[in-house]
Amino acid sequence: MNLSFNVERRSATVKVAAIGILILVLLIPVGMIKAVISDRTHVRSTAQMDIQNSWGGPQLIAGPVLRLPFKAEAINSYGTPYLQDRFAFLVADELTIAADTSVETRYRGIHEVPVYAADISFLVSFDLQMLAELGLDGDSIAWQDAELLLGISDTASINRVPGLVAEGTERNFSMMKQQLAGLPTQLSVRIGGLIDDWRNSTNLQSRISLSVNGTESLRFLTLAESSEIRVSADWPSPSFVGRRLPVERQISETAFSALWQTTSLGRKLPATWINGEAVPDTGSDGVFGVRFMQPIGLYQLVDRALKYAIMIVGLTFVTYFLMETIGGVRLHPLQYLLVGLANTLFYLLLLSLAEHIGFGPAYIASALSAAALIVGYSANVLQGRHRASIMSAVLGGLYAFLYLTLKAESYALLAGSIGLWVVLAAVMYLTRKVNWYATQASASDAQRPMSGSD
């Protein structure tokens, strides 16, 4: 009799240990679902790369830069003087850029990727007097070979040949043969015949037009003493990137516009240099622009929801355990396991449905499906519809809490911590007067068949 009583006294501890083991076992299907999310994310990335390859990738527009060839005296290894071909580079004095961007959505299967087409216009002015800083004068420059360079990271996505207009004369850019290190792939246009008219002038002005496709982001590296860049697009979720934030921005439910103003202060590159003396840096702080950010992706949302899987399963088990302890119901660990599997199935349903109908509707459908399984099962194993109703209320509260936590991006951790505190406080309050040994012993006695009377 004493041995039986001691075993019954330990039954609560054994049940808690069994529940803990079941929770660890359920980490296996949770991990498998996480692997499915990772695989689907990779498929989406592949679809995005496929669209980028055919439409255009993230674009970085750099420049413009004026390249002026000249000859300088040099001495070879035999001590003989000769004239060496050199290049002087000059950044713009003033630069104004206007980018009018149109965004649309392209599809690969069930995956969608926003792409854009940008019409970009440049108004650029060069101060030719800056060449004096290099000790050069107009007579030493081979003006007929002067070129204007413009860097574009993905030249294959240019819609039409970029053009330059100066003094009523229009010329087209072409691929530059000798690329300037440190900048994206450069296009060049010869302006020698134009600049001959300005040899006695101190200023060179021109307009550049560019139409380019891209995805994900549009960034600029403005090599100018002062610049003003305005970008507008029919996209409601811009993310401004780089160390320079726009001085003005307007964001509505359907579009945005932003204005940047920059100066040469803080720029590592000088206003003029001779080849080999300085190299532009596309990774410098001067790069800025906009990223066409999508709202939180469904795979990221499902992955974030999956992080709360153990909490949902654990709290469901706690509810079952309290009903078993206080209500006098005896449950088998297998019954706990089936309920836990129904909870984990919610996440697989959420993932598969969200790919087709969106996260919100998929969440509702998955939560109702999982809750229906558990509540329908509970109506029998908990021996009463009122207990199943309690289970329904608990599940409804858990899934509603999880949804609100996922939507509260900035307050997700705070909401989760407070929610767990409230749940723990409720469990402690409900079990504050429970004598665990006596309760388990009584429950065990209640399940034994009545013996015949003497």
Pairing type for strands 111-127 and 238-242 reads unpaired
Give the distance, in angstroms, between the CA of residue 12 and the centroid of all CA atoms in the same chain.
Answer: 47
**CA Rg, the chain, in Å?**
35
The token duo for 186 is 């450069």
Of 65, 297, 293, the residue nearest 181 (C-alpha) = 65
Q: What is the pLDDT of residue 183?
A: 80
Residues 151 and 208: their CA atoms lie apart, in Å, by 13
Cα–Cα distance for residue pair 295/361, rounded to 1 Å: 16
**Residues 185, 190, 192, 195, Cα dihedral to 10°:** -70
Q: pLDDT value at position 281?
A: 65
Angle at 243 (CA atoms; ends 260, 224), nearest 5 degrees: 50
Tokens standing for 98? 């206007």
- pLDDT of amino acid 444: 46
Phi/psi of residue 31, each to 5°? -65, -35
Query: How far apart are alpha carbons 120 and 219 in whole angstroms?
Result: 12
Q: What is the DSSP letter of 253?
A: S
* Cis previous bond, 81, omega within 30: no
DSSP percent split of the chain into helix, strand, coil, nearest 5? 45, 30, 25
Distance CA 166, CA 275 (A): 26
pLDDT of residue 32: 86
Return averaged pLDDT per consecutive 10 residues of the chain, 454 residues in all: 46 74 83 84 79 84 85 70 78 90 80 85 85 74 83 85 78 81 82 62 79 89 88 88 87 90 78 71 74 73 82 82 73 82 87 82 88 82 75 82 72 69 74 60 45 41
Q: How many residues does the chain have?
A: 454
| Domain span(s) for CATH 2.60.40 in the chain | 58-294
Helix (H) or strand (E) holding 349: helix 333-357
Token pair recorded at residue 161: 């040949």
* Whole-angstrom distance, CA of residue 145 vs CA of residue 142: 6
Whether this prediction's pTM lies above 0.75 is answered by no
* Residue bearing tokens 């599940």: 395
Measured CA to CA, the distance from residue 164 to residue 173 in angstroms comes to 7
Q: Which two tokens stand for residue 240?
A: 């401004």
CA angle at 311 for the pair 8 and 308, rounded to the nearest 5°: 160
The CATH fold of domain 58-294 = Immunoglobulin-like (2.60.40)
Start-to-end Cα distance in the chain:
19
Cα separation, 167 vs 189, in Å, equals 15
DSSP track, 100-157? EEEEEEEEETTEEEEEEEEEEEEEEEEEGGGGGGGT--GGGB-GGG-EEEEEES-GGG
Neighbours of 411 (CB within 10 A): 12
Q: Are 101 and 116 in contact (CB under 8 A)?
A: yes
Q: How much is the pLDDT for 196? A: 55
Given the structure tokens 């403005």, which residue do they identify?
222
* β 238-242/158-166 pair status: unpaired
